[in-house]
Amino acid sequence: MLAVAGLVATSGAGGAPAASAQGCANPSGTYTGEVPWGQRLVDPARLWPLTRGGGQLVAVVGTGVDAQNTQFAPGQLDSGAGTERTDCDGRGTIAAGIVGAQPDPSTTFAGVAPGARLLPIRYTTGDGGDPGELAGAIDRAADRRAGVILIAVPAAADSPALSAAVSRARAKGAVIVSAASATQQGARTYPTATSGVLAVGSVNAAGEPVQTEAGDHVGVAAPGAELVSTSAGAGGAVAHRWPVTDPSLAAAYVAGVAALVRAYHPALSGDQVVTRLTLTAHRPPSGGHDPRLGWGVLDAYAAVSSTLPADVPPPGALPPAASSPMVVPATAPPPRRSDVPAGTIALAGVALAAAAGVTMAAVRRARRRGWRASRFTP
């Protein structure tokens, strides 16, 4: 059987979060260390003066979300038919925290889009799940008008029902984000590999891909190793799991940034949000598509603040010379903090150097179509 979404934590066993005597996930404690590297890389606080994701509903489809962790604001987790506000497994709560946990004085950890509401939907309680059940969960998220649907636990197999659910959700305008988390060479997860889904690769602090799954379906990459996030089993406190390594969690970072983009650019369709996320990513060293990094590492600042024509095509539809990051704002500096991993900075530098020979021509063409550099100054 194909294994997916292997979660590794220091206190865990068997690839799962540390379990209590009842067999459910337990916190590591309250995290008080330095700002986690993934959070430093994405740097959502830099964008909060523009948007915190208010007005957005992000569905977290997987194992449920523990509403008793008080780093979720009162009322932030939607309730009602089809929702699940408990989480024995723990992965749904970890993913939800990356998306939308509130800043809190007791910890340096915070989510990407704390203004977003979260819709917890359980379809599985273990590794992987039935694609038919996942299809039903996606339908419930789309029926509740979730603008972003995060597949926190992808399925190991596809089905006609799952593909149809993806199509229905996209027709309603949803951005569907799912991680490339298969653990066997040549295997794919679903709906990660389904057309129209934003498939996310995973990187470590050095900017190196860490997931096994690869292919032309991978769109972007984001932090997925040695992470910190909210924990299930908090019992009414602010509590966390760390360090956690799980390629599926990279999709949570992308889902959080997608919520920021949707809040700041409300007129964009779901497909236009995906195009913006892929066009503004820091390109791989090759300057083109990489089977594990996709079109590059997520750049939250550029994704939100760049000014692009609404009809700009995705990178795969552009001529090879124009597939370089022509859309990164001219005024956008690298992340402000000096402790961003050197490997990540090197990755961005190599991508920009590879783009230097073609960017001027691409920008001239884009300007004739109405593109202009962002005037936002942090």
- What's the mean pLDDT in 209-223? 97
Tens digits of residue pLDDT in 84-141: 889 999 999 999 999 999 999 999 999 999 999 999 999 987 666 899 999 999 999 9
CA–CA–CA angle 322, 200, 155 (5° rounding): 140
Contact 221, 298 (CB under 8 A): yes
pLDDT of residue 83: 73
Tens digits of residue pLDDT in 135-180: 999 999 999 999 999 999 999 999 999 999 999 999 999 999 999 9
pLDDT of residue 311: 81
Confidence of residue 74 (pLDDT cuts 50, 70, 90): very high
Tens digits of residue pLDDT in 259-312: 999 999 999 999 999 999 999 999 999 999 999 999 999 999 999 999 888 788
Say if residue 337's pLDDT is above 70.
Answer: no
